[in-house]
Amino acid sequence: MLTIGRRPLPVVGRARMYVCGITPYDTTHLGHARTFVWADVAARVLRHAGVPVEVCRNVTDVDDVLTSAARRAGSPYDSFAAVQQFYFDRDMAALHVHPVTYEPRAHTYVPQVVALARALLELGHAYERDGAVYFRGSGVRERAGIDAEEAARLLAEFGDDPVSGGADPRRDDPADVAIWRPSAKGEPGWPSEWGEGRPGWHAECAAMAMTTYGPALDLHAGGADLRFPHHAYEAAMAEAVTGVRPFARAWLHVGVVRVDGAKMAKSAGNLVFTTDLLRHHPVGAVRLLLLDHPWAADWDYHPGGLEEAAARLERLHRAAYRTAAGRPAASAAGERAAVRALLDDLDVATALAIAEEEGGQAARTVIAVLALG
pLDDT of residue 364 exceeding 70, the answer is yes
CA 290, CA 302: separation in Å to the nearest integer?
12
Question: What is the per-residue pLDDT across 286-296, written as a single tens digit (0 to 9) for each?
Answer: 999 999 999 99
Q: Cβ distance 199 to 113 under 8 Å?
A: yes
CA 274, CA 281: separation in Å to the nearest integer?
10
Q: What is the pTM of this model?
A: 0.94
pLDDT of residue 326: 42
How high does pLDDT run on average in the chain? 93
CA 4, CA 39: separation in Å to the nearest integer?
12
Ordered by start, the domain boundaries in the chain are 11-268, 302-370
Fold held by 11-268:
Rossmann fold (3.40.50)
Q: Count other C-beta atoms under 10 Å from residue 369's C-beta.
A: 19
Question: What is the per-residue pLDDT across 100-145, written as a single tens digit (0 to 9) for each?
Answer: 999 999 999 999 999 999 999 999 999 999 999 999 999 999 999 9
Question: What is the per-residue pLDDT across 144-160, written as a single tens digit (0 to 9) for each?
Answer: 999 989 998 998 888 76
Q: What is the chain's length?
A: 373
Q: For 291-309, what is the mean pLDDT? A: 95
CA 310, CA 31: separation in Å to the nearest integer?
20
pLDDT of residue 325: 45
pLDDT of residue 290: 97
CA 316, CA 239: separation in Å to the nearest integer?
45
User: Could you give the C-alpha distances from 298 to 171, 258, 292, 304, 352, in angstroms and in order?
Assistant: 34, 7, 11, 18, 20
When pLDDT is cut at 50, 70 and 90, the band that residue 305 belongs to is very high
pLDDT of residue 185 exceeding 50, the answer is yes
Torsion of CA 216, 214, 202, 115, to 10 degrees: -140
